[in-house]
Structure 1
C-alpha cells in the first residue's frame, strides 16, 4: 500500500541565507532551499549533470548556476536553461507555515 504524502518541517524561515540557496540535509537527502525573488522553492541539491552541490553555485534570485560546469536551472521550476545540463532538477513541493519551510513528502 502506498504511503500518503505529508508536510514535514524542513528549516525555519529565519535560518535561510537571505536571497540565496541554503543547503539542508533531510531524511538522508541533500536539499537546496532557494530564497528567491518570487518566494521559496526546494529542490534536490545535486546538479543533474555533474552532481555538484548547487548551493555552492551562483543564485540570482531566480536561476541557479552549477559551480562545476556552469549548467543553469530555473530554481522555481527546475527547468534546464543552459548546457551542459540536460535533465531538469527534481523539485519538491514546499510551503511556509508559521515561519517554517515545509516540504510535502
Structure 2
C-alpha cells in the first residue's frame, strides 16, 4: 500500500491504550477504540505535550494530561479549552506483513484515502 508505514502488530495495540510512534519523521499516536483504529498527531495543539501520555475515553477522545484538553480521534477537533486548534488526523489501514496483521499509518488526511 503506497504511502502507508507499518507501525505495530494489531495484537499489540490494546484497547484505549495510546501508542506513540514516528511516521516519516512525524510523532504520531495510534489508538484502538473498540474495533476502530485511529492515528493523530502526538502533540497537544495547546501545550505541545505528547498526547500519547494522556488518556483515551471509550467515546473516542484523547486527553492531554497537562491541562485536560481533549480531542476527537475521528476529527482532531478539541472539545474544550484551553486547546482551540485541532490536531492532525491520519489515515490508518490494516495490512498483512510476514504473516502478521499490522497497523499502517499514512500522513495523508482521511479524506485523501486511496480508493
- Under a length normalisation based on structure 1, what TM-score does the superposition of the two structures give? 0.85
3-state secondary structure, aligned to 2:11: helix
Residue 16 of structure 1: how far off its partner (Å): 1.8
Aligned with residue 104 of structure 1, among 83, 90, 106: 106
The count of corresponding residues between Structure 1 and Structure 2 is 101
CA distance in 2, matches of 1:37, 1:17: 9
Q: Which runs of 4+ in 1 moved over 6 A?
A: none
Matched, 1:39 2:41: no
CA RMSD of aligned residues (A): 1.6
Matched, 1:16 2:13: yes
Residue number in structure 1 paired with 2:113: none
Unmatched 5+ residue regions in structure 2? Answer: 108-115
| Deviations, residues 44-88 of structure 1 (Å, cap 9, x unaligned) | 100000001111111113111111111111112211111111111
CA distance in 2, matches of 1:38, 1:14: 12
C-alpha spacing 1:82/1:51, structure 2 compared with 1 (3 Å):
same
Matched, 1:58 2:55: yes
3-state secondary structure, aligned to 1:80: coil
C-alpha spacing 1:6/1:28, structure 2 compared with 1 (3 Å):
closer
